[in-house]
Structure 1
Amino acid sequence: MQNRTPRIPQQPVPNRAELDARLTVELAAVVTGARRRALRDGDRQIDTAHLLHSLIESDPAVRAAFEGGPQLARVLGYLVQRSIGYGLRWQGSVEDSGAVPLVPDPGGVVRGTDTVVRDTGMEGWSPSAASAMAGALDRAESRGDTRARGLDLLTALATDHECRAVEVLVRGGVDVDRLAARVADVAGQGVPEGGV
């Protein structure tokens, strides 16, 4: 069941040019990889599973956050299977963990039975993915950094228990609360309020 308690990002998510300026070069490459993966999979939006897959492939610090090779291999196995079965039920639907407030759909129906959209300010991103990126930017800002890193995004993904990335992590045997706490310890930050 999806969480319908809205978690509103503390700051609006910037547009694409502003976003690129607030990411490390490595995290910008992750976003590009997630966008490419979404297009290749035939998905309308970048979702949290696309971000997770690209993070794991691109960022050594993110890979090191997992409890060894077997756990990481299981997670990657689910992510790779996405287009051949595991994630097919996600196709044609909007990922929505309730992380961004509802607004009326101005132009009709979003696929399926959804008749509302989420106002994320990031066209081409699922509401959950946009919320995760806003969370990563907030984490960087609270640390005094001007640019978000891959570990910031991993923590933001792991703390949204209703997103697709967490579903993949849990199926891969990852304790997401422990993962978020471990990453926060490495970064010298606590887990954000409303997270684990």
Structure 2
Amino acid sequence: MAKHVFLTGSPGVGKTTLIQKATQALKSSGIPIDGFYTEEVRVDGRRTGFDVVTLSGGRGTLSKVGSDSTTARREYRVGQYVVDLVSFEQLVLPVLRNVNLDSGTGKKVCVIDEIGKMELFSQSFIRAVRQTLAGSGTVILGTIPIPKGKPLGFVEEIRSRKDVKVFSVTKENRDSLLEDIVTTVQNCRK
């Protein structure tokens, strides 16, 4: 039986929107929920990066378009974006630690949008997600990218877990999946 729920699909198909709608539905039914999602940052209609936004209202930089200047510190890059690992970890790691603490109110839900190339530069993040997956007190509602090019080891590890239910989101099915996702998360809490 599934203990965790992940959405996968092409970039821009609506995974984050679906996660946000599911989060609202779960919250309104009284389920304890925390976590984060990623949000595009746009300037004059152009995407300039991504922020991490926690469900408790915190916000920080995940990545931004990098310059070609050489810097002394090591840069983590995905395409044109430079990943701000310090900002990401300062915001996300406390959320993951707190969600793993026993609340005594039944299983919490932890939103992790997303587990992708940028986030996987953080070994601390990978360890925290593994710990949450292995624990019994938290249900993860997360997103992972579709397999493309060189597989991302940790993403494939999640995808192949027997206790993970993966929903493939498409433009055709995204509007009809919400109820199934919410019901599956609620069943994971039992």
Q: TM-score, length-normalised on structure 1? A: 0.29
Q: Work out which of the two has the higher radius of gyration on C-alpha atoms and give 1 or 2.
A: 2
Higher strand share: 2
Structure with bigger RCO (C-alpha 8 Å, 6+ apart): 2
Q: TM-score, length-normalised on structure 2? A: 0.29
